[in-house]
Amino acid sequence: MPERIAWLGAHSYTNAGGVSGVRGHISLTAARGIGTEEFLMALGADLAQLEDGAPYKDWRTLTADGGAALDDANRAMYGTHGEWVYVLEDWGMSTWYTGFRKVEGMAPYPDEEIICLTMNSHCPPSLIVHVPGDGNDRQAEFGESTGSGSALDEALEAAGAVLPPRPDARDEEAVARYEAESEALPRAVFAAAGNYTGLVIDKAAVEAGDLPLAVLPMVM
């Protein structure tokens, strides 16, 4: 299988210092069946800011010029690939995840499919949320399948992203093996999501901050 977006998970524990974009602790939200601007505006983005088309790396300039107040907002970068629009955030969670049950406009409509991998750095565990197009969400922690028997679940199994139950603490060798597999989970989960969606996201563009900026309000 191609790498696709496995690298996003592989850098889950990487410090993002020294890059103009994002590198570690990245949450991904991908949607299809909805337009790019429509989806971003559902997340709270301002149309004028989106139309400005500024790259993520210019967010400091925008703030200094008074064009985008980021004190009470989150920075995200976004793009499209095939049928999917995707949003990347490194503030610890996914904006869609924090708001889709609270904000009416974020709730998915039938025929809209959404896959969200939210790191939940401030409130573990990391979660997989899948809305397959019926308006209802299925959730699982990293290391589990959603239990729906979907093609996404099959991709998670194939990528080694579904772990067996934690072994008895008295079996130190089995526990050590389990913990090593757990550390590799983010990469496996992102690999599975990439294989399911077909998403390809350019690592160099993400780290350089060349993808367009979206300013999203905090929803907590």
Q: Where are the domains of the chain?
A: 6-217
List all residues 6 or more positions away from 45 whose beta carbon is below 8 Å from its beta carbon: 214, 215, 216
Q: Give the model confidence (pLDDT) of 135-154 as tens digits.
A: 999 999 999 999 999 999 99
Tokens, residue 30: 């991908």
Q: Are 25 and 90 in contact (CB under 8 A)?
A: yes
Residue 65 pLDDT class (50, 70, 90 cuts) = low
Q: Which amino acid, residue 81?
A: H
Interatomic CA distance for residues 20 and 125, integer angstroms: 28
Burial 175-209 (b: 16+ CB within 10 A, else e): eeebeeeeeebbbbbbbbbbbbbebebeeeebbeb
| Better-scored residue on pLDDT, 14 or 151 | 151
Q: Are 130 and 146 in contact (CB under 8 A)?
A: yes
Interatomic CA distance for residues 15 and 33, integer angstroms: 34
Q: Give the mean model confidence (pLDDT) for residues 34-43.
A: 97
Residue 68 pLDDT class (50, 70, 90 cuts) = very low
Task: Please tell me the number of Cα atoms within 13 Å of 161 on its side-chain side.
Answer: 31
Interatomic CA distance for residues 117 and 126, integer angstroms: 7
Residue 69: pLDDT over 80: no
Q: Give the model confidence (pLDDT) of 71-126 as tens digits.
A: 678 999 999 999 999 999 999 999 999 999 999 889 999 999 999 999 998 888 99
CA distance readout (Å), 175 to 146, 161, 166, 181? 24, 17, 7, 10
Residue 165: pLDDT over 80: no
Q: Are 25 and 121 in contact (CB under 8 A)?
A: yes
Query: Can you give the pTM of this predicted structure?
Result: 0.90
DSSP 8-state secondary structure symbol assigned to residue 6: H
Q: Are 167 and 178 in contact (CB under 8 A)?
A: yes
List all residues 6 or more positions away from 220 whose beta carbon is below 8 Å from its beta carbon: 98
Residue 19 pLDDT class (50, 70, 90 cuts) = confident
| Better-scored residue on pLDDT, 177 or 21 | 21
Mean pLDDT of the chain: 88
DSSP, residue by residue, 144-200:
S--SS--HHHHHHHHTT-BPPPPPPTT-HHHHHHHHHHHHTHHHHHHHHHHHHH---
Interatomic CA distance for residues 29 and 129, integer angstroms: 9
For tokens 């559902």, the residue is 42
Interatomic CA distance for residues 194 and 203, integer angstroms: 14
